[in-house]
Structure 1
Amino acid sequence: MDTELAISALGALAQGTRLDAFRLLVRHEPAGMAAGDIARHLDVPQNSLSSHLGILARAGLVRAERHSRFIIYRADLDRMRALTLFLLQDCCAGRAELCAPLIAELTPLC
């Protein structure tokens, strides 16, 4: 991942509703969620949510798929993985033992 893509993704997540929507979609992987369900769950008007989902999609963090009359949104976990690796690429100046606590804390979450 290059710096511009990382900045775009981090910028998209730097807003409360978008961060909540992304985290909600991560919890609902791999099935994803319809936009209306996301709006109800987050108690956000659908037109506002549509704008937020568009920003997340342009940053590559969510994907939309049409299923009949619904649009199902899914978190792009590959893009999030790339962003996380970009942020941790130079972790602890290559001294793996210093990164061990971080890795240990992340491992049970996956």
Structure 2
Amino acid sequence: MDTKQSLSALAALAQESRLAVFRLLVQTGPEGLAASKIGERLDIAPSSLSFHLKELAHAGLVVSRQAGRFVIYSADTRAMNGLIDFLTENCCGGVSCK
């Protein structure tokens, strides 16, 4: 992940509802959740949720797929790990700090 992609991802996560959505999708795993279920669990109105999911998708943090009449969203763990790698690149002067 490069600087521009990292800034986009961090900006998307720098909002309470979007961070909550992303964390829920990370917890849910690759099977994901329908937008209606995300809204129910987090008590976010459908119009607001649609906006937040669009922002997360634009930042490359969530992916969607059609499942019948539902759109299922899941966290893009590759992008999440790329962001973590970007943030921790050269951490601790190259000495493992884990």
Residue of structure 2 in register with 1:35 after alignment: 35
Residue of structure 2 in register with 1:107 after alignment: none
Give CA-to-partner distance per residue, 1:9-41, whole Å, 9 cap, x none. Answer: 000000000000000001111210000000010
Give CA-to-partner distance per residue, 1:72-104, whole Å, 9 cap, x none. Answer: 0000000000000000011011122xx12xxxx
Higher helix share: 1
Segments of 5+ residues of structure 2 without an aligned counterpart are none
The structure 1 segments of at least 4 consecutive aligned residues displaced by more than 4 Å after TM superposition are none
- TM-score when normalising by structure 2: 0.97
Could you say which structure has the larger radius of gyration?
A: 1
Percent identity over the alignment? 50
- TM-score when normalising by structure 1: 0.87
Segments of 5+ residues of structure 1 without an aligned counterpart are 101-110
RMSD of aligned alpha carbons: 0.6
> For 1:31, what is the secondary structure of its paired residue?
coil
Residue of structure 2 in register with 1:95 after alignment: 95
- 1 or 2 for the larger relative contact order (CA 8 Å, sep ≥6)? 2
Counterparts in 2 of 1:6-85, with a 5 A limit? 6-85=6-85
Q: Name the count of aligned residue pairs.
A: 98
